[in-house]
Amino acid sequence: MGSSEAEQLHREALVIDSHNDSIVSHIRRGNRSITEREAPHLKGREGTVWNLRGPLETEAYAWNGQVTLPKLRAGGIDCAFFAVDVTRAWKNNLAYALDALGFFDADLASCPEEITVARSAAEIEAAKAAGKLAAVLVVENSDALEGSLNILRLFHHLGVRSVGITHNLSTWAAAGNLESRCGGGLTRFGVRLVEEMNALGMLVDVSHISESGFFDVLETSAAPTIASHSCCAALCDHPRNLTDPQLRALAEHGGVVGLTFVPSFVDPDWKPEHWPARPSLEQFLDHVEHAVETAGVDHVGIGSDFDGGGTVLRDATEYPRITAGLLKRGYPEGAVRKILGENTIRVFRAAAGH
């Protein structure tokens, strides 16, 4: 298939990126709008995120922001999961999450004809049909809930449709992938959290959780789950990556792994001091191939981690290179469509509803 056919397939397919950290990135760049336009409506909105984190150092890993509406359009991305990682809020987790979500809401209010918050699979599909970007709201690290399922319910009312159980360290709900506490699995609150997310219609995210916690989630959850931004431990033995038994178990539970662009998750030899050198797209596609061989083509997606360390691709404009690369490796069109987004929306529909 030639480049024009690959480009057409990419534009016709439903393309979903299951993880970025762009909301906080835009705040820390001086309250920049996702539209790239001047944003007087965002001036003077410095709040919890800015006061705790301050301005973003733009020299490394930044490229002036990897996710904006023009870049998403150029990359043919139809839906992006916008996560707010509250890990560094240090005892201000809830305020941090609300501040970031409130900033994003103020920004989206200025461009309703261009981007919409999607609360269901049908709303993602409707946004693509209308030529709009669909944004799925995500809270990364359940400590934003302050141990309260009532707060989870309010996040759901605000439009949040996915929660990451942990970041790298332990939370109220479970041990993170860098820790092992009391066996490292779900706590009693963690079990109740997963059950409540199922009841409300929220997608459980197992990226960052400990291995024991991962299997506890699969045992507890009545709905499929997602590892929104991870890679394959068999190719790169990083604690954030999934082992082959984890990949197979995720598939058996109906879930999806969103393979990510973080260099140290893709290439076992990459170190921060190697910057600006990065792993190649082919190395990333090796992870796609391994995940397909291990979990099956129905259980693989893409979760860039743009604006959070995902730099194998420069920014969202380069997404069509993935489609071209998969086709070059001999993947049939149907398989490419599944990896680009059909698998992710299937899991989202199962967890969050039609």
The residues, any chain, with a CB within 8 Å of residue 67's CB and separated by 6 or more, are 20, 22, 25, 34, 80, 306, 307, 315, 316
pTM attached to this predicted model: 0.95
* pLDDT tens digits for range 98-135: 999 999 999 999 999 999 999 999 999 999 999 999 99
How far is it, in rounded angstroms, from Cα 160 to Cα 153? 9
3-state secondary structure of 207: coil
Residue 62: per-residue pLDDT: 47
Positions in the chain short of pLDDT 70: 1-2, 58-64, 168-169, 172-175, 178-184
* pLDDT tens digits for range 2-50: 688 999 999 999 999 999 999 999 999 999 999 999 988 898 888 999 9
Residue 276 · residue 28 · CB < 8 Å: no
